[in-house]
Amino acid sequence: MSKIVCLTFLLATLLTVISPTAAAGLEERWRNRHHNRDCCPVAICEFEKGDSFDHRRHAKRNINPFDGFIQFTETFNNQLFVSGFLDAENFKKDTTAGAQGLDVHVADCNLKSLDVGLDLDEVDDIFDRPFVGVIPNKKVSQLVGKCCILADDKQNDQIIAVAKVKQAIKCGRNKKILIKDL
């Protein structure tokens, strides 16, 4: 074998052995410097038809009338990506909740002030179709532990459905996928 072929083979072998270790160190330094930008925290509210909620003072009935979910995903651009599907009977398709006189909010679960918090009234096609929306300057951590609330504005904010916001994916040093805990 020629000297050039042997040196090329030796160089290729060294790069194969050394590269993964060096790359791992560079990747770790890049992540620490960029604050784990490769992870997007996710939270979710799950509505299940027939589930009860404990807000009797504000509701004529305390049973969720529909199935569905609202998912919140934090993006790199300081935006909150909201998506979901609410399979609800007797609500209009192809319109917003606000156009139907309904309020959809993420707020404190004590419900003292329904209109304070994240407002989803103007998200298109919120009932009986998959929906998406983008909300600037919000983080998943601001929503976890609060409640997704659907109320009838025509009936003085009568509560129709409530589901608690739960963390599904947590980022940071101790990244965790918590879906099983939902």
Q: Say how many C-beta atoms besides its own lie within 10 A of residue 74's C-beta.
A: 22
pTM of the model: 0.70
Domains held by the chain: number:
2
Q: Give me the domain span that covers residue 98.
A: 42-181
pLDDT in tens, 47-101: 998 888 765 444 456 788 889 999 999 987 889 999 999 888 777 877 888 888 8
pLDDT of the residue at 109 = 85
Indicate whether 87 and 155 sit together in one domain: yes
One domain, residues 130 and 113:
yes
Asked whether residue 28 falls in the same domain as residue 66, the answer is no
C-alpha to C-alpha distance for 7 and 159, rounded to whole angstroms: 76
Same domain for 90 and 156? yes
165: pLDDT strictly greater than 90: yes
Whether residue 148 sits in one domain with residue 123: yes
**Residues 6 or more apart from 41 whose CB is under 8 A from it?**
73, 74, 139, 140, 141, 167, 169, 170, 171
Q: Are residues 79 and 108 in the same domain?
A: yes
Residues 93, 77: Cα–Cα separation, whole Å:
31
- Please name the residues in contact with 100: beta carbons below 8 A apart, sequence gap of 6 or more: 91, 92
The token duo for 95 is 């319109």
CATH number, domain with residue 106: 2.60.40
